[in-house]
Amino acid sequence: MALKIQIPSSLNEITLKQYKKFLKVQKNVKEEKFLNAKMIEIFCNIGLEKVMLLKLKDSQEIISILSKMFDEKPQLVTRFKMNKVDYGFHPQLDELTLGEYIDLDTFIGDWDNMEKAMNVLYRPVIIKMKDKYNIDDYKLGTESALLDMPMDAVMSSIFFLWTLGLDLSKIMTNSLEMEETKILTQYLNSQGSGVGINQFMDSLKGTLEGLKISLN
């Protein structure tokens, strides 16, 4: 019996939820062949029992296709539509609020909570005029919706921050009022053992290389 499998052709067809699920499997499974089977199960959205019925050469071809999706350098995804809602990347990072910065700094290096970082960077578009747009205010408790966002937006935004050589603390201290700057400085100094943006940027190169994304 021929199996019908819908193979994603780009990261746009893989969700953050699927990727987080794969990362958990990858963390606990060391056997490559079983990990490859789980990759097909998760990203092609079929049962593991059906994956096991695939011909070996077909499974190898699928793994090759899935792996190649991570080969290309991602271009920043500024807009995407999800569940009939138009989302936009934050158009002015230098105008992040202190609360937005702290949440982004806290969660950008934590794949278990990556949707919380994405909730800062991507929000529903409320006004648009040609290529320009405004996004909704930052709202806590709405991050679960971002689990369905496409992985090309997730990876491209992370890569974008990295290629900026982003030190958000410098951007923020240039735009915040004096009292807010004092609070931010105290916060940054208290994060010596945390996994924030600065530490995340140090480790991101290795992460992207592990995903086969070129930094050159």
The domain tally of the chain equals: 2
The domain boundary residue, chosen from 32, 49, 68: 68
- Give the range of the structural domain holding residue 145, as residue numbers without chain letter: 79-210
In this structure, the answer to whether residues 39 and 19 fall within a common structural domain is yes
∠ CA 177-114-8, nearest 5°, is 135
Q: Is residue 93 part of a domain?
A: yes
In this structure, the answer to whether residues 60 and 126 fall within a common structural domain is no
pLDDT of amino acid 82: 95
Name the residue with tokens 């529903």: 124
Who contacts 55 (Cβ-Cβ below 8 Å, separation ≥6)? none
Count CB atoms within 10 A of the CB of residue 100. 19
Q: Is residue 216 part of a domain?
A: no
Give the Cα separation of 88 and 137 in Å (integer).
12
Tell me the pTM: 0.77
Residue with the bigger pLDDT between 130 and 188: it is 130
In this structure, the answer to whether residues 62 and 84 fall within a common structural domain is no
Percent of the chain with pLDDT over 70: 74
SS3 1: coil
For 27, list phi and psi in degrees, rounded to 5.
Answer: -65, -30
Asked whether 127 and 158 are in contact (CB, 8 A), the reply is no
Q: Is residue 4 part of a domain?
A: no
SS3 52: coil
In this structure, the answer to whether residues 40 and 120 fall within a common structural domain is no
Q: Is residue 91 part of a domain?
A: yes
In this structure, the answer to whether residues 94 and 152 fall within a common structural domain is yes
pLDDT of amino acid 198: 45
pLDDT band at 148 (very low <50, low <70, confident <90, very high): very high
